Each structure stands twice: as C-alpha cells, then as structure tokens.
Amino acid sequence: MNFFARRLAKIQKPSTLPVDNILTEENIYNTIFLNCGEPDFDTPGNIKQAAHIAIKNGKTKYTAVDGVYELKKAVCKKFKQDNDLTYCPDQVMVSSGAKQVIYNAMMATLNPGDEVIILAPYWISYPDIIRLAGGEPVIINCLEQNNFKVNPQDIEKSITSKTKWIFLNSPNNPTGAIYSYQELKEIASILLKYKNIYILSDDIYEYIKFGEHRFFTLPQVEFGLYDRTLLVNGVSKSYSMTGWRIGYAAGNKALIDNMILIQSHSTSNPSTISQYAALEAITGDQSYPRYATEQFIQRCKLVVQMLNDIPGLRCRFPEGGYYVYPYCGNFLGKRSCNGKLIKDDRDFVEYLSKDYKVELVSGNNFGMSPYFRLSFVTTLTILIEACQRIRAACAALAE
Ligand code: PLP
C-alpha cells in the first residue's frame, strides 16, 4: 500500500523556488541563479522598522484569522486609490502570501472534475493548486505572435458546463504581458455572458510596469464582473517582501468567508509581525516601488539587447514584471561539445546549467515551449556575465 496520498501523483515540485545561495559579485564565477522570482533588493528600512516596533509593542500573538482590521482597512484604501474599486474590510482577507490566497480560493470552491481555465504561459503553481483542490486545469495557449495574450474567442471555446473559474495574470509571470483597458474590455464582454464563472485576477506585479503601459484590473474595466472577480495581490513583489509572506484578496463576502474558513483550519492568521510590516508597506512611503521599477527597466533593456544579439535567440521586450521569456527553438536538434542532443527547452536549460552555470527555468514549466524564463533580479554586472555565458553556450551548439 502506498502511504502517500493519490493527489500527489498529479503534482510536481516547483522549479522556481529559491535555494539558499548567496550570489555576490565576488563569487560571480559560480553558478548564476536567474531562476527565482524574487529581486535582490532588501526590504525597505521603514518596513523593517515597523516590524521591530510591532515586536516591541507585543504584537506577537494570534490575530483574527483573516488579518488585523487595520491592515484590511488599508487594503480597502489601496483598492480605492489605485484601482477605483470600493471594498469593505469584510470583503478582504490576508493570507501567508498570494499563493495561499489562491489555494484558499480553490479549496473553498472546487469539487472533483470542476474546470479552471488558465492562460499559458502561466505561473507555475496554478495547475498544481487547482489539481490539489480536486479541479482540472484547462489550458489556453497565448502565442508569442499575439504578444502572449489570449484571443478572447479562445476563452469562449474553452468554456464548458464544468468551468468554474478563469485565471488572469497581468503583468504576467513569465512573459511580462500587460492587458490594456481595451483588451480587458473584450475579455469582459465574453465573461459577462457566463454568469456562473468566477474570475481570479492575480495582480501581484501591478506596480512593476514599463514605459507607457498602464495597469487595469478586470472589475475596474467592467463593473458588471465585480461580484464574480477575486482580486489577488500582495506585498512580495512590490516591496521586496517575498520572505514576509503576506498576500491579500478582495471579493464577494460569501467567497471570502469560505476562504477564511479554509485558512482557519490550515495556517490561521499570517504572521502578526509581517502583517504590521505589510501595513507600513501599503500605507507608508511609496518611493521603493518606483525605485525598483527604474532599476528593473535598466536591467531589462540590457538583458533584452544582449539576448537578441545572440544569433538564434529571440527575446520580446516585456511590458512589466521582472522576467523575460526568450524563444530557444532554433537550438533544438543541435548538439553540445559533449555530444548531448538538445531535444527540447528542458535540455537547453539543463545544458546551460551544467556546462555554463546559469540557472534558468524551461518553458515547459509554464505550459509553453520552446522558451525559457530568465529573471533579471540581480545586478547589471552579474546579468552581463550571465548573458555572455548564454551567448557562449549557444555558439558552442552545432548541427
Ligand atoms: N502569483 C504570481 C503570478 C507569482 O509569480 C507569484 C510568485 O512568484 C505569486 C502569485 C505568489 O506570491 P506570494 O509570494 O505572495 O505567495
């Protein structure tokens, strides 16, 4: 008899989680890790200070399962200010990261066989969270020719009587695609017709957008979808707070109540100290997200240019986020100096890791091949070294 649950058979270990690696410019000749989803910037000082103060003031006990009221009120204010959407604190919950928010939502709503539409390339955890909750992911491919965005007609074709949710993620991980107001309006016009389908809008990269690109979330564009949209957001990406584990959600009260019920029997409240740090992040000085975005733009320009200069590689300029998603199909069928055949993007990424010590994530993890994801979450110097290694690796591949 197998001791482990059958549900594990369908899920995989995420290949984007960080390892304990300290990369500095001194040990640059070691492996360069560009596979993680967290920036090198430290959490801003005012946020760390708020955590110290919380500890000093004894804010070290359990809180309400769904988070401290002050933080939920601050989240409501953020949605009003940034997205022109009105929520009451009882429509909001705080969790241990956006990941837990999504997990709660799926556990609270999916029955075996329920379908959830996700758009590939997608964030690695979506399909497995859906499967863990008993649902079936239904994938729509969003091709590079369409800037990795969905064709709204494809949504309609994928809807069945079992469809319960559709996930949207803009700016997107891994492609950086941002849906414009008009594009969201077109998606909304389809979804308005299907009254039983809920929308999970994962807006975690909201603040990291480049150039003229503006951020909109679905209910802001079509208020008719307000009741059926769960907004998912958090402080991990916007304030370099990945380790603090605070995410939050806003949506209709019945959905939020059931998500709170799930959380009440799993983790209870997210860390009290982190909640006070997140409160400072959301309500305090907002210069960090602007500063980080400026740095990301510089890094992104460098990486896109260096990758596009490599014969055979093609890299689209992302609209936001901190990833690029280059095409590596021209290297398939080639061999390395050691005779290893590159059959797919997995082999390509493995070759770069083993022979050139650059860690990337292959496109198959995001549901679209042959691509790879590179996170530009480190200094320009290290990124230059990484791109030079990728260049050398590509040049060494032969027919
Ligand atoms: N959603 C997307 C698209 C992400 O890329 C990530 C993290 O990589 C998350 C959600 C989870 O964020 P958190 O750290 O808040 O759990």
The pLDDT tens digits of the residues spanning 170-208 come to 999 999 999 999 999 999 999 999 999 999 999 999 999
Average pLDDT over every residue of 356-360: 96
Q: What is the pLDDT of residue 298?
A: 97
Q: 117 CA to middle of ligand 1, Å?
A: 18
Residue 97: CA count within 13 A, CB half-sphere:
13
What pLDDT band is residue 27 in, cutting at 50, 70 and 90? Answer: low
Residue of 43, 125, 240 with the most ligand 1 atoms within 8 Å of its CB, for mutation: 125
CA of 99 to the centre of ligand 1 (A): 6
Same domain? 272 vs 374: no
Q: Are residues 103 and 242 in the same domain?
A: yes
Residue 265 has pLDDT above 50, yes or no: yes
Please indicate, yes or no, if residue 1 is contained in any of the structural domains: no
Domain range holding 388?
6-42+288-396
| pLDDT at residue 302 tops 90 | yes
Q: What are 55-74's pLDDT values in tens digits?
A: 999 999 999 999 999 999 99
Q: Same structural domain for residues 51 and 129?
A: yes
Q: Residue for token digits 């990369």? A: 23
Identify the residue whose C-alpha is closest to ligand 1 atom 7: 37
Q: What value does the mean pLDDT take over residues 282-302?
A: 96
**Mean pLDDT over residues 300-320, rounded?**
98
Task: Return the ligand 1 atom nearest residue 235 CA.
Answer: 15
The answer on 242 and 344 residing in a single domain is: no
Residue 313 belongs to some domain of the structure: yes
Which of 129, 231, 237 is the pocket-test mutation for ligand 1 (most atoms within 8 Å of CB)? 237
Alpha-carbon torsion angle 78, 81, 86, 87, nearest 10? 10
- Give me the pLDDT at residue 16, please: 60
State the pLDDT confidence band at 17, using cuts at 50, 70 and 90.
Answer: low
The answer to whether the CB of 236 is under 6 A from ligand 1 is yes
Strand partners, 231: 201, 250
Using N-to-C axis directions, what is the helix angle for 272-283 and 45-56, rounded to 10°? 140
Domain count, the chain: 2
CATH number of the domain that residue 324 is part of: 3.90.1150.10
Backbone torsions φ then ψ of 141, nearest 5 degrees: -80, 130
| Residues 59 and 85 occupy one common structural domain | yes
| Residue 88 lies inside a defined structural domain of this protein | yes
According to DSSP, the residues that pair with 166 across neighbouring strands are 117, 199
Tens-place pLDDT, residues 95-131: 999 999 999 999 999 999 999 999 999 999 999 999 9
Tell me, yes or no, whether 109 and 258 share the same domain: yes
pLDDT higher than 90, residue 13? no
User: Phi and psi (nearest 5°) for 153?
Assistant: -60, -35
247 CB near ligand 1 (under 6 Å): yes
Strand residue runs (E) in 121-177: 136-141, 163-169
- If one residue of 101, 123, 179, 271 were mutated to test the ligand 1 pocket, choosing by the most ligand atoms within 8 A of its CB, it would be 123
CA of 13 from ligand 1 middle (Å) equals: 15
Q: How far is the CA of 233 from the centre of ligand 1 (A)?
A: 8
Cα diameter, the chain: 66
243: CATH: 3.40.640.10
Ligand 1 neighbour 320 (Cβ under 6 A):
no
Report the predicted TM-score, pTM, of the whole model to 2 decimal places: 0.95
Q: Do 17 and 61 belong together in one domain?
A: no
Nearest one of 83, 99, 39 to 289, comparing CA atoms: 39
Based on the fold, state whether residues 329 and 354 are members of the same structural domain.
Answer: yes
SS (H, E, C) 235-253: CCCCCCCHHHCCEEEECCH
Identify the residue whose C-alpha is closest to ligand 1 atom 12: 98
**Does 170 contact ligand 1 (Cβ within 6 A)?**
no
Asked if pLDDT for residue 244 goes beyond 80, the answer is yes
Is 262 a domain residue? yes
Average pLDDT over the chain reads 95
- Buried b / exposed e across 62-99, counting CB within 10 Å, b at 16+? ebebbbbeebbebbbebbeeebebebebebbbbbbbbb
Which of 268, 283, 298 terminates a domain? The answer is 283
- Bridge partner list, 141: 120
The pLDDT value given to residue 22: 47
- 204 within ligand 1 shell (Cβ under 6 A): yes
Pair 138, 57 in one domain? yes
pLDDT of residue 7: 87
Q: Smallest Cα–Cα separation from 271: which of 121, 20, 65, 132?
A: 65
